[in-house]
Amino acid sequence: MTTPSLESVLRPLVLVRAALGGVLMGLANLVPGISGGTMLLAAGIYPRFVAAVAEVSTLRFRVPALVLLGTVAVAALAGIVLLAGPIKDLVVHQRWIMYSLFVGLTLGGLPVVWRMARPATRSVFLGAGGGFVAMAALAIAQASGATGGDGQADLLLLGLAGLAGASAMILPGVSGGYLLLVLGQYVPILGAIEALKDAVAARDLAAATEPALTVLLPVGVGVVAGVVVVSNALKWLLARYEKATLGVLIGLLLGAVVGLWPFQAPVEPPLGATVKGEVVTAESLATIEVEDWPTRRFTPDAGQVGGALGLVVLGFLVTSAIARLGRDEPSA
């Protein structure tokens, strides 16, 4: 991929595209299945973004790189803050609909990475197999509750969630939102964003402190570390093991679908069960949010099966179309 000159970032049209790409990337980090890197590719800003990240991560702070990254970051933050609440509510209360859409969005990112990997070699297929097994195992572990833990483990998972978000910023076709789902941190992070937004609107500093320090700070640390580590690690891996690395990305996308089985719904926890480290009692049951309820698979009816298939196709077409928009970006 040819990297355009960063000097062109100061052109008004390029800044508009950077802002659009930032908003799309923010939405991508909220929606499992959509890759932030793919959204930047769609906006025609991806090569410049990667170049700017690589430059800043080596402590070179030139104006064009800083302007580009600042524009993308501010636009992405605006998209996240404004839409975190509605997206979280849809995932909690309309799970089979949203997960069906997420499956399509995930598969729609596959052609992006496949085009980068062609012509396919043995390394591509071996990497894809390894990536698929790793992602499928992670999804199965999450479904069985193996990724839960105490408060300290949650902090670790939140940091890993930040790393996942950073990966999605850099890698076209890889969804940070999906990784948040399988790490069990998707709804908590969106809930914390919404709680912080409400507290700020109410000018309640005490209410803003808890989500900011216990959830968003660890995620933010993970994002910052991840952008630096992932961008430079990818640069190294793609330079030396390009086919195998792209194969792993393909496998991650395919394996992601395993954890997005749409026909599951939240069920009220029974008395005596443990939710968020506390035993459920008759008194505490009414205070447990639906988003914290365990999920159970159910048998869909014909209408749900048809609707799910339609949403899968729709999601695939949406992601494919967005990726296609940025394919022929000029090199200057």
Q: By mean pLDDT, which of 10-14, 130-134, 175-179 is the weakest?
A: 175-179
Tokens of 44: 């025609």
* DSSP structural state of residue 270: P
- Assess whether pLDDT exceeds 60 at residue 327: no
Strongest mean pLDDT among 78-92, 119-133, 245-259: 119-133
Q: Of 59, 50, 55, whose CA–CA distance to 25 is shortest?
A: 50
Q: What share of the chain is helix, strand, coil (3-state, %, to 5)?
A: 75, 5, 25
Residues 264 and 231: beta-carbon distance below 8 Å: no
Candidate from 52-66, 108-122, 148-162 with smallest mean pLDDT: 148-162
* Cβ contact 32:180 at 8 Å: yes
- What pLDDT was estimated at residue 150? 40
Q: Is the pLDDT of residue 233 over 50?
A: yes
Which are the contacts of 316, defined by CB distance < 8 A and separation ≥ 6? Answer: 104, 105, 107, 108
pTM: 0.65
Q: Specify the higher pLDDT residue, 297 or 24.
A: 297
Higher pLDDT among residues 47 and 70, named by residue: 70
66 or 249, higher pLDDT:
66
Q: Which two tokens stand for residue 78?
A: 């605006």
Residue with the larger pLDDT of the pair 308 and 208: 308
The answer, yes or no, to whether residue 133 has pLDDT greater than 50, is yes
Task: Read off the DSSP letter of residue 33.
Answer: T
Amino acid 125: pLDDT: 95
- pLDDT at position 77 is 86
Quick one: what percent of the chain has pLDDT higher than 70?
80
Per-residue confidence (pLDDT) for residue 304, from 0 to 100: 93
Per the prediction, the chain carries an average pLDDT of: 78
* CB-based contacts of 166, cutoff 8 Å, min separation 6: 176, 222, 223, 224, 225, 226, 227, 229, 230
Q: For position 13, what pLDDT does the model report? A: 75
